Amino acid sequence: MKRGVFWLIDDQLYAYPFDGGYLEGIAKSGNTYNHKKLWEAARPAGKTAPFWWYPRGRVEITNQNEPVIYLSPHFGAEWLGQIMLALGITTNPVVRYDYSAHYHCFLDREN
């Protein structure tokens, strides 16, 4: 089970378990990735939109070794299995849909 971040891009999950492989993407805490910092190094080929454009989320691990998934409300429950698989989660996580501006994406923009 790993901390990490993920995006939903064109109906595909892009997950980045924290392993320190992207040095330019490491968060201030030093134990996970930061979406904004990681985006330039890890974004899929041909994608030019900024990091916040796509729905995104993260996995944190509590001091009790319990996984917590924070994510944009634009992820449906059908994505939880893939997120868990990508980040090695084998126990029931706490799932927190984050409606704050922190997880806003293009779908939250006013027309």
- The residue with tokens 């985006």 is 39
Q: Is the pTM of this model over 0.85?
A: yes
Q: What is the mean pLDDT of the chain?
A: 94
- Strand 12-17 versus strand 4-9 pairing type: antiparallel
pLDDT tens per residue, range 34-62: 999 999 999 999 999 999 999 999 999 99
Q: Where are the domains of the chain?
A: 4-108
Three-state SS string over 12-29 comes to EEEEEECCCCCHHHECCC
Question: Residue 87's pLDDT is what?
Answer: 97
Other beta carbons within 10 angstroms of residue 26's beta carbon come to 17
Other beta carbons within 10 angstroms of residue 74's beta carbon come to 18
